[in-house]
Structure 1
Amino acid sequence: MENKKVISDLMKRYGTQILHLSYSYVRDRQIAEDLTQEIFVKCYEKLHTFKGNSSIETWLYRIAINHCKDYLKSWQFRKVTATGYISSLFTSNEAPAERKYLIKEEQTEIRDAVFHLPVKYREIIFLYYFKEYSQKEISEICKINLNTVKARMARGKELLKKYLTERGVLNGEGFETDKKSNA
């Protein structure tokens, strides 16, 4: 009974985040919802293996990332055409009404650009900018070397800049992407 309570609490606390992470991989809301359910079932089944060497959140993200990557490698994914975007995925209700439209358009362009990145760059950018993990935390979550995280971050930002410049979102001078320290 205790495991059901723990999983229920995890679902309430991280369900939306795991859905967004899943969506960032598959770009289809229905599939992302299915994957999110599968991820929490897997967590329930594997809860006894959690050793406490990392935070429960890090453990949950690791399971989610692995599950999404497995899905992308699966036969089922190759036969499914991912369509549509979650329009309100990263929108904010805090902006004044006059600016809300412009902000939403900019967020949509950036979100679409992130979704066009290869998965290995997309997951780093997503975890860093949208989930605000440090590069060290991303290294732990993705189980890759910190220098690999830094290299993928730099390459991902280059690809984003190129993509956004080609679409006229940027004027070629670049944009400020460092929101916090790299550690």
Structure 2
Amino acid sequence: MAFEYLKSLAGGMDKNEILSELMLTYGEDVWNYAFFLTRQPMTADDITQDVFMKVYERLYSFRGEASIKTWLLTITRNTVRDQWRSAWFRRVVPFGMLKRDETVASAESQALSALVEEDVWKLVLELPTKLREVLLLHAHHQLSYVEIAELLGISVGTMKSRLSRARAKISQQLETEGRDTL
């Protein structure tokens, strides 16, 4: 969906209406990305709420240099990083990590099961953050190489290298478990 109205916000469109449409269109993508980075559903909920609060405050600062989706995922990534750097997170999280209850299927696991087998995504979650992020943005969010590189603040060559290493690690792990490769 093209959000041409973001370029003409001065035309008097209601900010709440724009935010509502953005949340409906991209809310799940923002939550999924936050979950992949944090691995905690409740934290992903909080991050998603924070992201859309920031979007509401900065709606008029969107310059259109990237797609709306890339802009939202960049805000999501920066919000997660801010949380990781916070003193509260460093003090509390290592002692209070919640284990995810696998008996109840979350929206995230349902969305991912439509893309590939759940086992493959478990292997993806075990990848180092740098590799996991690139693979997620490419395979799940279907961003281009250039968009991923801009979002992560790296060169396209580095992004391609990380994507290649991520795919190789997943394929290697699947082979060691006796399954077909990707």
Q: TM-score scaled by structure 2?
A: 0.78
- 1:37-95 CA distance string (max 9 Å, x none): 11111111122221112222221111111112222333344432152164323123xxx
Of Structure 1 and Structure 2, which has the larger fraction of its residues in helix? Answer: 2
Task: Give yes or no for the alignment of 1:58 onto 2:70.
Answer: yes
Equivalent-residue separation in structure 1 for 2:81 and 2:178 (angstroms) = 30
Letter of the 1:49 partner, please give it: S
Counterpart for residue 134 of structure 2: 124
Task: Give yes or no for the alignment of 1:90 onto 2:105.
Answer: no
Percent identity over the alignment?
30
Residue segments in structure 2 that go unaligned for 5+ positions in a row: 1-12
| Matched residue count | 160
Contact persistence 1:109–1:169 (CA under 8 A): no
Distance 1:107 1:147, change over 3 A: same
Contact persistence 1:27–1:83 (CA under 8 A): no
Residue segments in structure 1 that go unaligned for 5+ positions in a row: 93-102, 177-183
Contact persistence 2:15–2:56 (CA under 8 A): yes
Equivalent-residue separation in structure 2 for 1:70 and 1:163 (angstroms) = 32
- The Cα shift of 1:140 comes to 2.4
Distance 1:133 1:46, change over 3 A: same
- 1:16-54 CA distance string (max 9 Å, x none): 111101000111111111110111111111222211122
Letter of the 1:71 partner, please give it: Q
The secondary structure found in structure 2 opposite 1:53 is coil
Question: Match for 1:69 among 76, 81, 93?
Answer: 81
Distance 1:76 1:116, change over 3 A: farther
Equivalent-residue separation in structure 1 for 2:99 and 2:37 (angstroms) = 12
Contact persistence 2:131–2:166 (CA under 8 A): yes
Q: TM-score scaled by structure 1?
A: 0.77
The secondary structure found in structure 1 opposite 2:111 is coil
